[in-house]
């Protein structure tokens, strides 16, 4: 559909405006910095959301007609605004200061709102369209209607006539309850919240997909599929979407979209069972089986800004691959992140299951986390949950030994990778998280490791039971 390609074109147009604004911000005095940054931030967000829509189109193809009307509202207005901006900021006849001031003066008169406010309005509408397309529980039909009216007024002031009425009317979904949100697939919740601590990774490069690209019919996207999560890399120049197929439980596929040298979007898609992962520095590298060469071949390298996000992505992939019915074998690197030192390991009873609890420290950035995995059976070593240890662990109130086998931890936020596991069963009245160790020796060793050493990485590796 032409309007879908239009979303991609406007993302490219926004990127060009960003380049010019960055140039102007570098040249001008600090007095302009905050104002230019406010505009930049919203244009970059608009570009990212337009690419989000484009990435979701193949998976939610049947729902695309619902949002066509709203795209017909926003895209011509956005195009007009950015073209008007470029007439000033990409005009070599003016110095940078004049480019900026003229643009702000002329475009600020349209719609009675500042330029940053106008782009906030664009971004707000695009956010609702992404949620509407993907059936997000955060979609708000009242907000969408208010934004629709505001955009139509802006179009009128821009001299753009209103588009035709929508061909496919839609009905607003019922507002989800807390129980509905809790019943979502665990992978949909993994990246809901930012980790309470972030540990930066160094030696990052641009994420890449090495293809080959696939035409739409080769992607294998089945009607009724649903997105588990989508992560952008390098300002959404590359994106990765994990989605669940509707026909068989736990059938998960990974869709990658990247750019060719001419900024055209390319896509490829594989089942998680067809991929294996390994860590290299600050990246996760995914390999696929090459039929021609009869050995694994590098398909995609994702570079992460933070250790926490890399850990969550790796654990999610390992858990999804372990449970996929088409998976033949799971390698140790699929479920155990390389580059981490094991500080402690012991058995726990966790929501009625017996798990292996490991304390791991990253050898590059020094981050420490708790990691619970399946102890035995077909899913052995499959991640169940992980929790990042923050500066709160330095407090004497962080760890409370409640009995010979029970330890309570404060300010612990487990990220869960299993649908059957309910972390609320381990949570206590005031938010403490309970660890129930199978042996008293394991509880002793765990307590000693955190309470007797200010440097958790300096002691012997403790394996109990």
Cα–Cα distance, 222 to 246 (Å, whole number): 8
Task: Tell whether the torsion through CA atoms of 302, 308, 311 and 316 is positive or negative.
Answer: negative
Cα–Cα distance, 146 to 207 (Å, whole number): 38
Alpha carbon distances (Å) from 107 to 87, 326, 462:
11, 56, 65
Strands, DSSP E only, in 272-382? 275-280, 283-290, 295-303, 340-350, 353-362, 368-374
Cα–Cα distance, 318 to 340 (Å, whole number): 16
Cα–Cα distance, 374 to 440 (Å, whole number): 21
Candidates 328, 317, 251, 244; CA nearest to 286 is: 317
Structure token digits, residue 192: 């809901």
In this prediction, residues 37-62 reach a mean pLDDT of 93
Please give the residue that has the higher pLDDT: either 12 or 463. 12
| Tens-place pLDDT, residues 170-187 | 565 566 677 777 788 999
- Asked if the model's pLDDT at residue 295 lies above 70, the reply is yes
Candidates 154, 196, 140, 234; CA nearest to 367 is: 196
Q: Where are the alpha helices (DSSP H) in 30-113?
A: 33-56, 64-89, 96-108
| Tens-place pLDDT, residues 347-400 | 999 999 999 999 999 998 999 999 999 999 899 999 999 999 988 888 888 999
Candidates 409, 405, 394; CA nearest to 444 is: 405
Question: Residue 270: in which H helix or E strand, if any?
Answer: strand 265-271
| Tens-place pLDDT, residues 426-441 | 999 888 999 999 999 9
């Amino acid at each position: 559909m032409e309007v879908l390609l239009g979303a991609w074109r406007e993302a490219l147009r926004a990127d060009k405006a960003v380049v010019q604004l960055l140039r102007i911000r570098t040249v001008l005095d600090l007095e302009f910095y905050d104002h230019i940054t406010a505009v930049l931030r919203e244009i970059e967000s608009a570009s990212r959301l337009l690419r989000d829509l484009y990435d979701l189109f193949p998976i939610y193809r049947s729902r695309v007609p619902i949002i066509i009307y709203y795209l017909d509202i926003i895209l011509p207005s956005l195009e007009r605004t950015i073209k008007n901006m470029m007439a000033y900021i990409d005009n070599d006849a003016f110095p940078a200061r004049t480019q900026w001031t003229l643009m702000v003066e002329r475009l600020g008169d349209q719609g009675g709102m500042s330029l940053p406010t106008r782009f906030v309005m664009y971004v707000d509408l695009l956010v609702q369209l992404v949620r509407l397309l993907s059936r997000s529980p955060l979609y708000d039909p009242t907000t969408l209607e208010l934004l629709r009216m505001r955009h139509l007024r802006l179009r009128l002031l821009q001299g753009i006539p209103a588009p035709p009425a929508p061909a496919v009317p839609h009905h607003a979904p019922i507002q989800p309850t807390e129980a509905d949100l809790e019943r979502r697939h665990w992978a949909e919740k993994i990246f809901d919240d930012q980790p309470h601590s972030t540990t930066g990774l160094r030696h990052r490069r641009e994420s890449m997909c090495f293809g080959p690209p696939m035409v739409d019919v080769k992607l294998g996207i089945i009607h009724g599929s649903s997105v588990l999560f989508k992560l952008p890399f390098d300002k959404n120049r590359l994106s990765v979407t994990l989605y669940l197929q509707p026909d068989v439980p736990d059938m998960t596929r990974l869709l990658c979209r990247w750019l060719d040298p001419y900024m055209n979007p390319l896509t490829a898609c594989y089942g998680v069972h067809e991929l294996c992962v390994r860590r290299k520095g600050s990246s996760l590298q995914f390999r696929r089986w090459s039929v021609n060469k009869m050995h694994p071949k590098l398909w995609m390298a994702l570079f992460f800004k933070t250790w926490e996000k890399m850990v969550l992505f790796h654990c999610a992939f390992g858990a999804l691959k372990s449970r996929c019915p088409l998976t033949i074998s799971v390698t140790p690197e699929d479920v155990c992140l390389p580059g981490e030192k094991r500080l402690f390991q012991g058995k726990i009873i966790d929501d009625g299951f017996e798990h292996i609890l490991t304390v791991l420290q990253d050898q590059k950035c020094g981050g420490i986390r708790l990691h619970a995995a399946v102890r035995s059976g077909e899913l052995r070593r499959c991640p169940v949950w992980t929790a990042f240890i923050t500066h709160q662990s330095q407090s004497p109130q962080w760890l409370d030994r409640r009995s010979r086998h029970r330890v309570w931890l404060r300010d612990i936020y487990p990220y869960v990778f299993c649908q059957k596991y309910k972390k609320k069963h381990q949570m206590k009245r005031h938010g403490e998280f309970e660890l129930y160790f199978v042996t008293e020796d394991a509880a002793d060793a765990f307590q000693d490791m955190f309470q007797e050493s200010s440097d958790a990485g300096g002691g012997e590796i403790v394996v109990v039971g």
